[in-house]
A and B are shown apart, each in its own frame.
Chain A
Amino acid sequence: MAEKTLKRVDLIFSEDNYREIIEKTFAKTDDEIINEMIDSGLKGRGGAGFLTGLKWKFARDAKSVNKHVICNADEGEPGTFKDREILDKVAQKVFTGMAIAARVVGAKKGYIYLRGEYRFLVPKLLKELKEFHAIMKAVNFDFEIDIFMGSGAYVCGEETALLESMEGRRGEPRNKPPFPVIEGYLGQPTVVNNVETLASAAMVCKIGSQSYKRLGTKSSRGSKLFSVSGDTPIAGVYELELGMSLQEFVDEFGDGDTKAVQVGGASGFCVPRKKFPTTIIGYQSDLEGDNLPTGGSMMIFNSSRSMYNLLRNYLDFFVEESCGQCTPCRVGTQQLIYGIEAVKRGDKNSSYLDYLLKLTETMKMTAKCGLGQSVANSFSSIVTNFKEEMIY
């Protein structure tokens, strides 16, 4: 294994005095907090990468008596397991982020939308919440957090489907606009942030935007947790700076025979070996090469893996986990999986893959939600880069 070159960051899992962070932050005005957040460049860590400070600002500016802060802990992206780790080890940090968000936007109620499969965390979280509510009382801030259990649908990680689910309806994404910051839970302004985003927000408040900005690159500030899995001797959750190249990442985490890395889970992109040096892990920017934003899933595959089987597996997942509401996602995913099977069998010739690639463009442009718009990413990147494996 190559020598360790990537700097490990220790923000998310550090032990902290949360009351101190809250008191320090609450001493500032809302505008000061928002400006600090915007200045830090912190972007949503769930994968979509929206500026967290801006999201809070929109919700703050929305007029309503009741507002809500929701922690999206419906961690369902295949290959992602960082939020579980956060909630297991530093739940208070997440609550602290929620309290700060609540203070800024003017919410009295917070919810943790917890993935159905993470039920085992509930007793521990309840215990932590008790302590947290004691802090809230001590600092005299009226804010309470409840846990809402999800039921296992992948799509409920999409924020509007999550809201539908919380309101007791079928988890189907809503039309946007209106966005949740204007009309969210129960039609009231709602901030929905990923677990890691909230923990990072608390850390921005602790160390200040100036220190936070020193991590990462211009358009991708800060550090991020990566869920590293697959053909690696050191699978696990790692906190790394944004802006690294995939080559650097593979040198450190690969097994020496890495063929491809699936960045961002099943809905992310598959990067072949030849593109490792030019692929930068971070948000779209003026940097050269391809920039891949990610929710943090890094699945490493070595040369013993069939990319056809890999793609089939991803598509199988989406064919099952699409909510089924909109045409491009529901039918498109089926056409993609049955399409590659037909090509493999020889029932359709290889040019059919090109036709399906055009379909993926339609799916990306017309699906109703972020999930639907990204289900075809793995298809287009795998088929483009490993076409021969699809055919022979």
Chain B
Amino acid sequence: MADKVNLTIDNIDVSVDKGKTILDAARQININIPVLCHHPDINVAGNCRVCVVEQVGARTLPVSCATPVSDGMEIYTNSHKVRTTRKHIIELLLSEHNADCTKCYKNGKCELQELAAEFKISNDYFIDLVPLKNYTIDKYSPSIVKDDSKCVRCQRCVRVCEELQYVSAVSCAHKGEHMKISTFFDHSMFEVICTNCGQCVNRCPTGALVEKNYIEEVWEALANPNIHVVCQTAPAVRVALGEDLGGVVGTRVTGKMIAALKRLGFDSVLDTDFTADLTIMEEGFELLGRLKKALKEKDHTVALPMTTSCSPGWIKFVEHVFPDMLDNVSTCKSPQQMFGALVKTYYAQKRDINPEKIISVSIMPCTAKKYEADRPEMRDSGFKDVDYVLTTRELAIMIKQAGVDFESLQEENYDSIMGSSTGAAVIFGATGGVMEAALRTAWEVVTGKEVPFDNLNITPVRGMEGVREASVVIAGALPEWSFLEGVELKCAVAHGLVNAKKAIQSVRDGKSDYHFIEIMACPGGCLGGGGQPFPTNPEIRQKRMDAIYEEDENMTIRKSHENPEIILIYEDFLGKPNSHKAHELLHTHYKKRERY
């Protein structure tokens, strides 16, 4: 037991591993110490000082989140001294915080508000510092609204942006009373390297960083009888929406979600899964095409490995940070944008609706999708392909506003057309899912047989490890693909941009010889997206992931190319994968951007 440390907390003996903090030790014996700047996904900062405790013999009060335990420590978490100082600190935080709670988007979801309520901060002693500063709200980004007047300088966003995302769009600027979380030259979030991933939004304890919401715009569209409002729902939404509506983490609510959307008044409730399957077709054939050029035609100019392009956070990241690698990114639009382009063309034709009268709304686990929908390239239907993007959280708000009792809803099914899905599409919501879906289809295209994994579950690409590698040796290739026979297909999966950076850097440095890389900007993939319900942590993401694979297992069709609506759209509209029409509507190009 040499590596154990013994201490007492509130007179209770506790033994914990060496290197653990006082906070860890307290949690082990179910003593709750309030925290604010602490977050399980990022490094410890010890900035806010809310978690101070009393250590017998120490001159000052150590912070429990950053102080390692030592033998014989005597800690008190609720002494008079601790309570008064902790209350002071919360009062101080409130004095520099725009406590406009009833009008705040984060009302009810704010960690500072919770603390204030818990400690019954009712006095008004300290001077309100907010009016003394010239705060402006940055609302120019289509994804994220930054309101410094609500910022408590905990630096969670700064750490997230640096540690998880290798972006550092936000960092600390100035000092003393002017210290603030700022961007390069204090430009708008819209004008800097921000990838719009929203991981900061997911972890901001207050309303300083929130998504730009389009709730009223969507209500307005729904209220207009002359408009046909279509919605698409991303795979990761169905495993998280319930959390915001009183459900247990990791519950699949697909049917209830569809029912709720219909109750809100959407004319047609469709599934992004459909275009996820379409992405597999387009991207899969694009990959096979690149492999053919490289391996059969010995064309050394073809860019390999090819990376996925579903994640708009990743796209903006690669444009800024690795602009020399843009050729490696698949030209496929994301499923959301493929959907948008098809709604106002294929769907409009099939349903005989004037595309001018269609408003397309997407429900996404993502804040970057808002930016993506606003890109000038995303108007191939002749209109704005996706009009409004709502996050999972915004949808939950709308469902509550509509007075719908979510729990008691009868499950319903997606409308048609563009509402049919496969297990392959569902797993897009988890890191590794696109890779697995692509392999299920590509293997079968090349060999005519199912992937040689038990029950189609390609487990090597699953999991939460930052970068995962897998390879399969192709055996039994059909004559058309004979150049692939015996080739070891090397794949990698990366999630979180810091891992994406590692994977791409190793390719750029010539250290990796992958053929295909799946990259998702957010930890855990879309299920950990910046638009998902609060809070987020590794356990919550794991439960959502389990739910996604459960959903896959429960689908009757689990391969994209077997989706009947996919077969139909190629017959009726697109011709074949990577056809001219497909390129027109479903593929795009990228733009080199500066880091600063």
Task: Write the residues of chain A forming the contact surface with B, with a CB cutoff of 8 angstroms.
Answer: 153, 155, 170, 172, 175, 177, 318-328, 330-335, 338-339, 342, 352, 355, 358-359, 361-362, 364-368, 373
Contact = CB atoms under 8 A, between A and B. Distances in A.
Contacts of A319: 176-177
B122 to A, nearest CB: 15
Nearest to A372: B49
B68 A177 contact: yes
Contacts of A359: 88, 92
Chain B CB count within 10 A is highest, among A319, A325, A335, for A325
A364 B92 contact: no
Contact of A332 (B46, B92, B132): B92
Contacts of A358: 84, 88
B89 A324 contact: no
A324 to B, nearest CB: 3
Given A334-B96, A364-B60, A365-B60, A321 B175 contact: yes
Interface string B111-140: 000000000000001110100100000000
A327 B85 contact: no
Contacts of B175: 153, 155, 320-324
A334 B88 contact: no
Which of B44, B67, B174, B177 has the most CB atoms of chain A within a 10 A radius of its CB? B177
A373 B85 CA distance: 13
A355 to B, nearest CB: 6
Interface in B514-528: none
A353 to B, nearest CB: 12
A170 B172 contact: yes
A390 to B, nearest CB: 16
Interface string B170-204: 01101111110000000000000000000000000
Contact of A334 (B47, B59, B89, B177): B177
6 contacts: A321-B176, A327-B48, A330-B179, A335-B127, A335-B129, A365-B85
B49 A368 contact: yes
Contacts of A327: 47-50, 89, 92-93, 152-153
Contact of A333 (B63, B66, B176): B176
B95 interface: yes
B296 interface: no
A359 B84 CA distance: 9
Contacts of B582: none
A365 B62 CA distance: 8
Nearest to A339: B127
Contact of B47 (A321, A326, A335, A342): A326
A362 B153 contact: no
Contacts of B61: 365-366
A362 B52 CA distance: 11
Nearest to A331: B92
Name the residue in B88, B155, B174, B178 with the highest tally of chain A Cβ atoms < 10 Å from its Cβ: B88
A373 B62 CA distance: 12
A324 B60 contact: no
A366 B66 contact: no
Contact of A325 (B47, B96, B178): B47
A172 B93 CA distance: 19
B84 A338 contact: no
Contacts of A352: 125
A170 B182 CA distance: 13
A364 B89 CA distance: 12
A110 to B, nearest CB: 28
A324 B177 CA distance: 7
Contacts, number: 118
Given A175-B44, A331-B92, A364-B60, A324 B174 contact: yes
B70 to A, nearest CB: 9
A320 B177 contact: yes
A17 B126 CA distance: 58
B517 to A, nearest CB: 31
B88 to A, nearest CB: 4
A356 B471 CA distance: 65
A311 to B, nearest CB: 16
B81 interface: yes
In the A-B complex, list the 9 residue pairs whose CB atoms are closest, starting with the nearest. Answer: A324-B179, A331-B92, A175-B66, A362-B88, A362-B85, A322-B176, A175-B46, A320-B176, A338-B127
A127 B85 CA distance: 51
Interface in B52-72: 52, 59-61, 63, 66-68
Interface string B146-164: 0000001101000000000
A147 to B, nearest CB: 24
Contacts of B81: 365
Contacts of B129: 331, 334-335, 338
A330 B129 CA distance: 12
A366 B125 contact: no
Nearest to B59: A365
A342 B124 CA distance: 14
A84 B245 CA distance: 64
A329 to B, nearest CB: 9
B49 A326 contact: yes
A324 B92 contact: no
B46 A368 contact: yes
B49 A366 contact: yes
B456 to A, nearest CB: 47
Contacts of A361: 85
A321 B177 CA distance: 8
Contacts of B152: 327
A132 B96 CA distance: 51
Contact of B60 (A175, A334, A335, A373): A373
Given A321-B176, A333-B177, A365-B60, A328 B95 contact: no
Contacts of B95: 331, 335
A319 B47 CA distance: 17
A324 B176 contact: yes
A362 B44 CA distance: 22
A326 B48 contact: yes
A325 B485 CA distance: 59
Nearest to A154: B175
B121 to A, nearest CB: 14
Contacts of A325: 45, 47, 153, 155, 172, 179
Given A175-B46, A334-B129, A324 B153 contact: yes
Given A326-B49, A327-B93, A366 B127 contact: no
Given A325-B179, A366-B85, A368-B47, 14 more contacts: A153-B175, A321-B175, A322-B177, A323-B179, A330-B153, A331-B96, A332-B92, A335-B129, A338-B127, A339-B127, A359-B92, A362-B85, A366-B52, A366-B61
A355 B132 CA distance: 21
A172 B46 CA distance: 12
A362 B89 contact: yes
Given A366-B60, A366-B61, A328 B49 contact: yes
Contacts of B93: 327, 331
A319 B174 CA distance: 12
Interface string B72-91: 00000000010011001100
B105 to A, nearest CB: 24
A320 B176 CA distance: 5
A335 B92 contact: yes
B178 A324 contact: yes
Interface string B460-488: 00000000000000000000000000000
A330 B85 CA distance: 15
Nearest to A347: B127
Nearest to B44: A175
Contacts of B171: 170
Nearest to B174: A324
A227 to B, nearest CB: 24
Contacts of A331: 92-93, 95-96, 129
Contacts of A153: 175
B153 A338 contact: no
Contacts of A330: 96, 153, 176-177, 179
Contacts of B96: 330-331, 334
Nearest to B58: A365
